[in-house]
Chain A
Amino acid sequence: MKKHILITSLVLPFICLLAWVLFLTITRNTGSEITVNIAGYDPRDLLSGHYIAYQIDWDHTDCTQFDGNVCPKKEFCKEAHWGRQCRFYIPENQAKDLNNLFVMRFHNNLKFEVVYSYRKGRTPIAKKLLINGDEWQEYMRNKKL
């Protein structure tokens, strides 16, 4: 009996995390793709890695992508003191260059967008970060950054 409890308690966290990953994968793959315009804050780094902290610029987002042509603002991102804050995680080795691009986006006339997998009633999952319509990795490769 004790052996079963031991094995169950050891394996349970593994199963929970695996189920979470499967759930997120299904949610990401079954949702429809929508693109939102973003305005931002500076990237910060926590133990979980470097990321860009941004807010969705609903005034410049095409709301016809959603049912009833209404943007479901409350379904996106986490509520913070200053509004709804979202994150996009980026690799450490490219964080500085991407940060510079993001901070100087108005000066360089760059448009930052995020592609989400969206399904009504589920938490939207960010899939891609776009710079002037290109995936950010591709944009940086082309610009040799």
Chain B
Amino acid sequence: MSLLKKTTVWVQEQIITPEQKEKILAFERQSGNHTFWNTAFIIAGILIGLGICLLIAANWSVLPATVKLIGDFALFGALIFAIYWSIQNQHKGLKELFTILAFLLVGGTIGLVGQIFQLSGGWNNFALAWALLGLPYVILSRSIFINMAWLVLLGSIFNGKYLGKILEYIVGNFTINTIIDIIILYAIYWGITKIQDKTDKYIVLPKTIGKLLIWSIYLLVIYIGCRWGLISSHNLQAFGAYLVVFGFLGFRMYMATRKQNISSFKRNAVLAEIYIFAIFASKMGNLWMSGWGFILGGLFILAFVFALRKTTRYIKQMEIFK
């Protein structure tokens, strides 16, 4: 429920007065900048983390295996320390950045170990190990991206190992299977969070079904966008797909802003970013180049955010002096 809706209900229930409602909304509008900062940190974290994974996948032969392993574990250790430090010092944005990096680096490390020791394990084992070892970081993070990524990982385990075999005969399409798995898992996740909140007594509610329908539309649009926008060799078709995806996500972000629904805004922003990364990766030549492109893109966002933050503070200070 958006803050606007919540406060309207509170006024109707006479919990707060209309004046208090306006004050709360005005306060939230002012502090809304944190959402922007945190989203920027999350996006930078995703970019840098994916970049590191791509560099690992490129399997650069110049570096010996031992050096790669030592470098990877040193980075992992540093990230653990950075997460602890950011929690202790209450840096929410940095905590999100480091947690996402650590979660993605767990996957990267498993990939690196598989590469160095020439392991033939399938995706199921890889995804299961990643989901289990990455769980502490998923719990620590408040980002919707990391939650969704974890669910997709779980979905892919079930798809390959259990559900997939049954659904293959029914649907006969891997992508549809994956979407169904994600929807089932999202339903479970949604139910659990509702139980934890103690706001609802039942796992499946009409609202949940509505939410799932919205998610299936999201996934369908992204699927069409990927299918046509990334694979198609016709520029016009690809451009049309970009327009559909960004138009849809942009409209949802606009509506979220109007309704002051911060979580919806974040969700759409992250989906748009993921789609940008997919285009970026498909257009850039190889893993090595894409990896560096991602890392530099993430570092650019971080530098931009810090510069913007400093500038904003400076302008605010100037206003005080006036």
The distance from the CB of A7 to the nearest CB of chain B, in whole angstroms, is: 7
A20/B120 in contact, CB under 8 A: no
Interface size on B, residues (CB 8 A): 41
Q: Give the contacting residue for A93; candidates B109, B115, B117, B288; CB below 8 A.
A: B288
Q: Complex: how many Å from CA A126 to CA B117?
A: 7
B121's nearest neighbour on chain A, judged by CB, is: A78
B288/A13 in contact, CB under 8 A: no
Interface residues of A in 17-44 (CB under 8 A from B): 17-18, 20-21, 24, 28
Q: Give the contacting residue for B56; candidates A49, A90, A126; CB below 8 A.
A: A49
Q: Tell me if B293 is interfacial: C-beta within 8 Å of chain A.
A: no
B80/A10 in contact, CB under 8 A: yes
B117/A28 in contact, CB under 8 A: yes
Q: Tell me if A48 is interfacial: C-beta within 8 Å of chain B.
A: yes
User: 1/0 contact trace for B56-100 toward A, CB 8 Å?
Assistant: 111111000000010001001100100110010000000000000
Given contacts A17-B109, A78-B121, contact A89 B114 (CB under 8 A): yes
Q: Complex: how many Å from CA A87 to CA B113?
A: 13
Q: Tell me if B206 is interfacial: C-beta within 8 Å of chain A.
A: no
A89/B58 in contact, CB under 8 A: no
User: 1/0 contact trace for B32-75 toward A, CB 8 Å?
Assistant: 00000000000000000000010011111100000001000100
Q: Tell me if B133 is interfacial: C-beta within 8 Å of chain A.
A: yes
User: 1/0 contact trace for B113-134 toward A, CB 8 Å?
Assistant: 1111111111100100000011
Q: For chain A, which range describes its interface: under 10, 10 to 19, 20 to 34, or 35 or more residues?
A: 35 or more
A77/B120 in contact, CB under 8 A: yes
Given contacts A10-B84, A91-B58, contact A47 B111 (CB under 8 A): yes
Q: Complex: how many Å from CA A46 to CA B53?
A: 11
B120/A14 in contact, CB under 8 A: no
Q: Complex: how many Å from CA A6 to CA B287?
A: 35
The distance from the CB of A29 to the nearest CB of chain B, in whole angstroms, is: 11
Q: Tell me if B237 is interfacial: C-beta within 8 Å of chain A.
A: no
A17/B76 in contact, CB under 8 A: yes
The distance from the CB of A56 to the nearest CB of chain B, in whole angstroms, is: 11
Residue numbers of B with Cβ under 8 A of A are 53, 56-61, 69, 73, 76-77, 80, 83-84, 87, 106-107, 109-111, 113-123, 126, 133-134, 136-137, 139-140, 286-288
8 A-B interface contacts by CB (under 8 A): A6-B87, A11-B80, A13-B106, A24-B119, A86-B120, A89-B59, A93-B58, A125-B119
**5 interchain residue pairs of minimum CB distance:** A126-B118, A91-B61, A9-B136, A48-B111, A13-B133
